[in-house]
């Protein structure tokens, strides 16, 4: 056993402290997840679609498909 | 040990103090318990149980309880510990200690997953019929070509990974 007295432990406000830590943590995790998703998934996807449709020629696309023979109504 | 844990989860009653007594038998005699009486429990969420751990004090313990009525500065360290052990079975540190149970659980779960794999291998061999012809390599090749001709998912998905100029998958 220790020969000197131990420091008095924290006696009050334990739940309040726990709740505060976890609420702050939850907010950080939620915002972090949202930020990661926005910049990892949403923005690249928007860019990919913008890039795809910037110089998209639907008639040319249709002709390629028609020549490949996939249509039944346009040979 | 496991049984004690299960029973202490079921309710606020320990099954009997004899189950809780392990290395800390302090000469208390355990008679047949009346389960209607208040009982001792080692629970983190019930820190001050209804009764003391040791019910029947020996002569030296009775003397110690008498000494407890005097100023506590008279008590030696060992006497204080003895008084604690009369009142409580396990300290919080002791009752909170981890076990190796998780290894058994993980090992058992993985073992039965492996056993399930054996069952499935047997099933594939003895029970299932042949898979559809649409899984033939030739068919899948034709299917893939048709998907690329149709430009399935051209933005981010399937056809986006095909190089139409070089007629090969993008590196």
Instruction: Dump pLDDT digits (tens) for B69-115.
Output: 999 999 999 999 999 999 999 999 999 999 999 999 999 999 999 99
Model pLDDT for residues B30-48, shown as the tens digit of each residue: 566 688 899 999 999 999 9
Q: Which of B77, B149, B154 sits opposite A52 (nearest CB)?
A: B154
Alpha-carbon dihedral sign for residues B160, B165, B167, B170: negative
The per-residue pLDDT for B98 is: 94
Give how far Cα B105 sits from Cα of A43, B9, B74, B108, Å. Answer: 43, 18, 50, 5
To which residue do tokens 């220790």 refer?
A2
The per-residue pLDDT for B34 is: 81
Is-contact B57 B68, C-beta < 8 A?
A: no
Is-contact B54 B28, C-beta < 8 A?
A: yes
Radius of gyration of chain B (CA): 34
Is A69 in Cβ contact with B155 (below 8 Å)? no
Is B155 in Cβ contact with A52 (below 8 Å)? yes
Closest of B150, B146, B170, B168 to residue B160, by C-alpha: B170
Q: Mean pLDDT check: name the lowest of B30-44, B54-68, B134-148.
A: B30-44
**pTM to 2 decimal places:** 0.63
B134 and chain A in contact, CB less than 8 A: no
Using a CB-CB distance cutoff of 8 angstroms, which residues of chain B are in contact with residue A61?
Answer: 151
Is B146 in Cβ contact with A65 (below 8 Å)? no
Residue B3 has pLDDT above 60, yes or no: no
Q: For A60-69, what is the mean pLDDT? A: 96
Q: What angle do CA B152, B161, A73 make, to 5 degrees?
A: 25
């Amino acid at each position: 056993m220790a020969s000197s007295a131990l420091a008095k432990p924290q006696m009050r406000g334990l739940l309040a402290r726990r709740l505060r830590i976890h609420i702050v943590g939850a907010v950080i995790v939620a915002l972090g997840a949202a930020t990661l998703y926005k910049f990892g998934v949403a923005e690249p996807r928007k860019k990919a679609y913008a890039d795809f449709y910037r110089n998209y020629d639907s008639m040319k696309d249709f002709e390629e498909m028609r020549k490949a023979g996939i249509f039944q109504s346009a040979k | 040990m496991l049984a004690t844990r299960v029973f202490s989860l079921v309710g606020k009653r320990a099954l009997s103090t004899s189950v809780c007594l392990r290395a800390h038998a302090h000469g208390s005699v355990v008679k047949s318990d009346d389960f209607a009486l208040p009982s001792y429990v080692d629970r983190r969420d019930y820190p001050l149980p209804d009764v003391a751990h040791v019910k029947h004090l020996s002569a030296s313990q009775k003397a110690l309880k008498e000494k407890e009525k005097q100023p506590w500065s008279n008590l030696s360290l060992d006497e204080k510990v003895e008084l604690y052990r009369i009142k409580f079975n396990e300290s919080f540190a002791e009752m909170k200690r981890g076990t190796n149970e998780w290894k058994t659980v993980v090992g058992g779960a993985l073992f039965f997953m492996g056993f399930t794999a054996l069952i499935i291998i047997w099933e594939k061999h003895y029970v299932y019929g042949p898979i559809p012809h649409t899984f033939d390599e030739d068919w899948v090749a034709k299917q893939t070509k048709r998907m690329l001709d149709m430009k399935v998912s051209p933005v981010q998905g399937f056809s986006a990974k095909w190089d139409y100029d070089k007629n090969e998958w993008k590196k």
